[in-house]
Each structure stands twice: as structure tokens, then as C-alpha cells.
Structure 1
Amino acid sequence: MTLRGSARRSIPYLVAIMSGFLFAYLIVAFFIFPAHLVTSDTKVPNVVGQTFENASAQLQKLGFKPQKGELRFTAGSASGQVLGQNPLPDAVMPSGTKVVLDLSQGQRTTSVPQLVGLSRQAAELALQNAGLESGDVTQRESPSPRGQVLSSSPAGGEKTPLPSEVAFVVSGGPAQLAIPDVTGQTYASAAQLLMQVGFRVAPAVPDTLTSGAPEGTVTGQDPAGNEPAPPGVTVRLRVATAPREQ
């Protein structure tokens, strides 16, 4: 038997032995190091709407790496709520893939400017500069100048969502009262009545021209009786006076 013939006959045995070693290695490697032999691709879950903490826990449990993405103000979404994700839900990705989560910063807010004491036009401009809109504007009688802002809702300094409206109340000026008709009364009683109502009374104006009026009685007034006027208006009274002797 030649050396070459002996080598040829041993080749099948060598192949069988090598195959056995390879098969045994694969079995051992499969059970000891399965991660190197079996792919671990997994569907990315849908975590939109969850808090960042809950979404992170779910992703990490599946082998993904959560990461914060864009932060933006969103009406109707609580701060920290997931608004979007990348990769998208149901995408099949390998373990260790980063999943970027866009988060809500909640509703954007601003402070209401101080409007009390401003004119209506100035108040509307202040709201516009703050990114707010003018809401209902009501009028109320007040000693303050007509058109001046008396109050706002929400009040100045309070936080309010953007965008939103701010309602405010403006002064309609003092209330109008009917001036009492005091003709025929004495100056003293007429003056007392007018001041009780809220009007001022000027010194008496002598009236020597009205005949038949008892001396000391009111013969006329300005403004006239029953005319509307705001409180504080001065009423001038003409009082019958005997003519001076020549």
C-alpha cells in the first residue's frame, strides 16, 4: 500500500471528524452564546401618548434605548407626554436601537399685563403685545374717567394660556342723576337738598327782576330741574332779592 493511497482512504474519516467537531461547536455555541447566532430584531412598540418614564421603561424592556428628542408646547397635552417617535411604531429594529421620543412641554402660558388705569385703546394694545386677545368689554358707572379700565379677568399678573382672551371692564363715567327742581324753596333748603343728592351749590345769584316771588326764595336754577347730570356738578341758584333803594 502506497503512502498516497493510504492518504486518500483517510480523507473521508478526516471529513467526518471535522464535521463532528463543527457540529458539536455549533451546538455548544447555540446554548452558551445564542445572541451571536440568533438575530434579536423586535417590533418597536407604540408609545405615543405615554409619559416619557413609562415609554422609556417599555422600550428598555424590549432592548431599545429611549432618547429625548424635540420639546414643544402643545395645547391639550400634559408636560412630558410623548408626541411622536422615531423609528415609527411596528418598525422591526435590532436590539440596542435608539428610539427618539418627541415630548410635550404642555400649554404655553403668559402673564396678563396690568390693565387697570389704562384707556381701552392702551389696554387692547398691551394685550396684543403680550400675545393675547381682547375679550368681552363691559361698561360700568364709576367716578373714574370715561373709558378707563377698572378691572380685568384674568387679573393682571395671573398666568393664562396662549392664545386666550382677556375680558375687562371700563368706566362709563359717573352715574347720571336728575337734578331736583328747587324753585320756590328757600336758598338754604334748596342748597341742602342738592348737596344731599350729590351736587354742589354755587353762591346765590341775586334776582331783582322776578316780581311776586317772596324774598329769599329760589326763582331759577342752572342746570334746570329734572335735567340729568353726573354727581358733583355745580348748580347755580337765582334767589329773589328786594331791589336796592335808589
Structure 2
Amino acid sequence: MDFKTFWSKSNTAFVIKNLLFAIMIGLVLIGGVYVWLKHYTRHGEEMQVPAVCGMYIEEAQLTLQSMGLVLQVIDSTYSNKVPLGTVVEQNPSADAFVKKGRPVYVIVNARSIRQVPVPDLRDVSCRQAEATLKALNLSVSDVLYEASEYRDLVLDIRKDGQSLEVGTRLPEGASVVLVVGQGSGMGSVSVPDLVGKTLSAARNQLLAMRLIVGATIYDTPQEEGKEYYIYNQEPAGGVWAREGDHVDLYLSEDIDKRVQTSGTDEEEFF
């Protein structure tokens, strides 16, 4: 059998022809996929990422857009060491090589100062209170010592001369003054009459007389945002106490509530 007859009539030749055809189709597909991938991935078309740290977010966005890159903000933080609204971190870093259209992820310094609540630091050691405030990005500008039954425990937190209630919001980076106990004093003072006053006003008055707020007892469950008034205190107003002693306070929403004492019996009336 000659080659022409073999090629045209042989079953073997039929199989070889189909195999060659399949190989050709495969090569064409591979070549097409390679060309498509080269175009899709922009192979060889790399550019350097510009440095956008320190730029305002709008400026950084325009800079990246002009180079065919996309800015994506993934987080914000707060620092008083850099201007508000500026980029503080980027990924990929400056001068890295990337392809056109790639996103550049940035972290931005917040445009407004975050407010943090004042924690309850009373009866906490001075060192622990300073560590807690530092973790909240608050600082201690001064430590004042007052007579107290216990040494080195925080008696009060102040800012601009005013006592701060727990939960009061301060801007990050703000500084406060800690009032810390230095042990009981040697002198005696007359306990002031605090009935009808708010807790904040009573605390300021007691501290001014080197006395300390002790237990605070509410006649109903305490609710945030409501004002409470002192209707009773122990020891009572006019009693003599040592500097650094505690005064327990009883509070109510009813400003007219009082406790009337007759002998040793106490009777509440409204």
C-alpha cells in the first residue's frame, strides 16, 4: 500500500489526522489565552507607587488617580502629632512597583478628635490610674495630695479646677489632674451640711475641707442622665471629723426629700 492510499483509506491515518487536528486546536487556544492574559494583566506595564503619607485624603486621591491607581480608605485613627484628615499609612508602600488600576490602601488620621469617657478611677492606686488614662490617650498634668484615710489612692479627677464625673467625655490627648490621698491628717474639721446638693457639688465641698466622699446610696436604681440630690449624710452636718475621713451620702431624684432625726430614730418624709 502506497502512502497516498494509506493516508486516505487507513484507519490508522484517520486517527493520526484527528490527533494532529486536536493538537492544532489546542495550540491556537493556548496562544489565544496567552494573548488575552497578557492584555488583561497588563504584563510588563508596572509603575511606581507615589508617596501619599502626609497628604490630605483629597490630595492623595487625585495623585493616585492621575497615575491610574485607586485609593481605598480601610481605617482611621487619631494622632495629635499629624494634621487631621491626612494619610498616616499606605499599602503598597511608596516606590513599590504595581500594575495600573491596582488599589492603594490607606489609613487616615480622623478629621475630628475622638471623645473618650472618663473611667472610674476613684479608690484606684495612682500608678494604675495613670496607666489607665495613658491607654485611653489621656495624660496626667499634675498630682495633688489631700488628707485621706488611705495613701496613694485616687480621690478625685479634675480638669480646669472642676471635678469630673465618671463617663464625662474628653477629647483624646486631653490632660487631667489626679487628687490622691496622702494619709489621714492631724486636724479636725466640721462636716458641712450637704443636704440638697448634687453629688458633684458635695464632692468639691468635701475635698476643699479635706474630707472624702464615702459610700453613695441611691433610694432608687440609678439612671444615667438624671440629676440626684443628697437627702441624708453620715456623719451629719456639724459633726467634727478628722481630715481624710469619709462622708457617706444618700441620694434621690426628689430634691425635697429629707430625713428628719428625732433622738436616735430616723424617719423619712416627703
Max Rg structure = 1
Bigger strand share: 2
TM-score bucket (shorter structure): 0.3 to 0.5
TM-score, normalised to structure 2, is: 0.36
TM-score, normalised to structure 1, is: 0.39
